Amino acid sequence: MSLLIVGSIAFDTIITPYGKREKIIGGSGTYCALAASFFTRPRLAGVVGEDFPCEMIDFFKEKGIRTEGIVIKPGKTFCWEGRYGYDPNLRETLKTELNVMASFEPVLPPNYQRSTIVYLATIDPDSHEKILSQINQPCLVAMDTIQFWVINKTESLWQVLKKVNIFFANEEEIRLLTKETNLVKAAKLVLSAGPSIVIVKKGEHGALVFGRDFIVGTIAHPCENVVDPTGAGDSFAGGFLGYMDRSKKITQRTIKKALIAGSTVASFVIEDFGIERLKRLTREEIKRRMRYFRQLVSF
Amino acid sequence: MSLLIVGSIAFDTIITPYGKREKIIGGSGTYCALAASFFTRPRLAGVVGEDFPCEMIDFFKEKGIRTEGIVIKPGKTFCWEGRYGYDPNLRETLKTELNVMASFEPVLPPNYQRSTIVYLATIDPDSHEKILSQINQPCLVAMDTIQFWVINKTESLWQVLKKVNIFFANEEEIRLLTKETNLVKAAKLVLSAGPSIVIVKKGEHGALVFGRDFIVGTIAHPCENVVDPTGAGDSFAGGFLGYMDRSKKITQRTIKKALIAGSTVASFVIEDFGIERLKRLTREEIKRRMRYFRQLVSF
């Protein structure tokens, strides 16, 4: 199989109780592709400005990530600034500058067009159709969203869900979208709109996977040192889909294993600022923690 | 083995989005003993006023609960009133009338004095010593607490923890007690004070068990119809300890199974007001859901 990730590539400024980092590399596409790269060779599509460092593109390549779909446009790269308090589940967005993202309409290079798994990470729902129409019958379309689209493009979001197989959302987003507090009921409402799998990300509380006839769930890997939660959700999705891509089949068994894979990668990301931990992470470390984590949650 | 539960027996008035129930039977001891009764024959110690219905004591007996330690005192039974919104994790206490509980000092009947597991449910930490001194070397002392004691008797609480093997607390309580937001660090602080096991109850997010050299955790059983969350935590502890009592040994394996047992009973309790669901619950239903739940969380 082959995994295509369409998402943001950004500069993040992050403030946590452990310090501040200015203009470090971030973005949903970045985290997702790096996380997936431990399991497969993902293709990344996105846009950056002329201020984006070439070394980062080289680093993606080193990690086995295809970068032909990263477009460099005149102007500045998308910037985000956020702050976390001692509760890593709560974050405050201080600034969002779309810059080159504002008018971005991905045109996929030819070698991306035969992707079997497509992940649309936090992409404007109105752009989904344009992206998907460029791909030759993907077996699996996955998407994530952000509160901004849930609030401002509710109808479009419900429309695109019809063509989606796996929908990732955090607790607040799915509650907001379905106007339903109970997560089981909320997931059922989304399932009835199209997706065959709904994955609710609950941050430090783990994740629940709702299928048409099954539910599986796990706590998060308990972390003693949460330095920066940025990118945990995107890395979870990346690890999950990367694992799915590698296992080449979609069964309850692979979904469970992918859940462990995604949770494990996410548990590393939060140990340092931005993508720092992902940069020095090894496959061996992931394997070891996956083994430990599986034992921790198995009954 | 034999499980002794010392806790409150109360009248609860409960308001939820699904309705209101006035002066129904509640209390930590009540929920805990009923939950444990599906796995063992627990002994219940507590105090009630003259207004408490004899039929309820008879019902405890029917369920195999020993009631010789329930003292009837002149005056009114402890009353609690609370309200829940659509988020079942948040509750507001509207009224607490201690009544006969205010001056209660449990004197255990002779046949309670050889109990191997003792659970002190939400008991004033200053009363622990008096209760424990009446028991012949229990193998396992477990306790729960409430925010009120954490705030008002912090020092006493740390003192009694020295003699406790299993400490149950919810997220807020353990964070408040240890002044530490990170649950892994908070649990370690409590473990270093005495207990060999710390169980953090996270409501709809499940529970984490911290030992000196292991962690296990589970999500909660996903419930579609949460009618009244009252007593879920106490029932979780009751199911957990009842299962431990029945299995007659304390190993990582029995702890994991006890975690499933406690979570399962708790998942039934919240399906109806007060103890209504526990009243009509059968061992067969518990067995079936435990099987399903284990499958749901096993990797």
pLDDT in tens, chain B (299 residues): 799 999 999 999 999 998 999 999 999 999 999 999 999 999 999 999 999 999 999 999 999 999 999 999 999 999 999 999 887 778 899 999 999 998 888 899 999 999 999 999 988 999 999 999 999 988 899 999 999 899 999 999 999 999 999 999 999 999 999 999 999 999 999 999 999 999 999 999 999 999 999 999 999 999 998 999 999 999 999 999 999 999 988 888 999 999 999 999 999 999 999 999 999 999 999 999 999 998 888 87
Which residue type occupies A272? Answer: D
Neighbours of A51 (CB within 10 A): 14
Taking the domain A3-297, which CATH number applies? Answer: 3.40.1190.20
Cα of B219 to nearest chain A Cα, Å: 6
- Under an 8 A CB cutoff, do A224 and B87 touch? no
What's the Cα-to-Cα distance from B287 to each of A169, A229, B171, B284, rounded to whole Å? 32, 39, 28, 5
Q: Which residue, B40, B89, B52, B105, is CA-closest to B254?
A: B40
- Under an 8 A CB cutoff, do B296 and A217 touch? yes
Domain boundaries, chain A: 3-297
Question: Which of B202, B205, B226 lies closest to A182 in CB terms?
Answer: B226
Residue A137 binned pLDDT confidence (cut-offs 50, 70, 90): confident
Question: Which of A183, A216, A297 lies closest to B217 in CB terms?
Answer: A297
Q: Which residue of B has its CA nearest to A187?
A: B224
Secondary structure letter of residue A250 according to DSSP = -
CB B207 within 8 A of CB B237: no
**Looking at A161-165, A174-178, B88-92, which range is the least confident one?**
B88-92
Q: Which residue of B has its CA nearest to A204?
A: B205
Greatest extent of chain B over all pairs of C-alpha atoms, in Å:
54
How many residues does the structure list for chain B? 299
What local confidence, expressed as pLDDT, does residue B91 receive?
Answer: 86
Residue of higher predicted confidence among A187 and A138: A187
Residue A7 binned pLDDT confidence (cut-offs 50, 70, 90): very high
Convert the pLDDT of each residue in A197-222 to its tens digit: 999 999 999 999 999 999 999 999 99
Q: Which residues pair with A141 in a beta bridge?
A: A118
Q: Which residues of A103-127 are buried (b: 16+ CB within 10 A; e: fewer)?
A: ebebebbeebeebbbbbbbbbbbeb
Tell how strand B197-201 and strand B207-211 pair up: antiparallel
Integer Cα distance of A60 and A70 in angstroms = 11
What local confidence, expressed as pLDDT, does residue A295 receive?
Answer: 87
The DSSP result for A192-242, as a single string, is: TTS-SEEEEE-GGG-EEEEESS-EEEEPPPP-S-----TTHHHHHHHHHHH
pTM score: 0.92
Residue A36 binned pLDDT confidence (cut-offs 50, 70, 90): very high
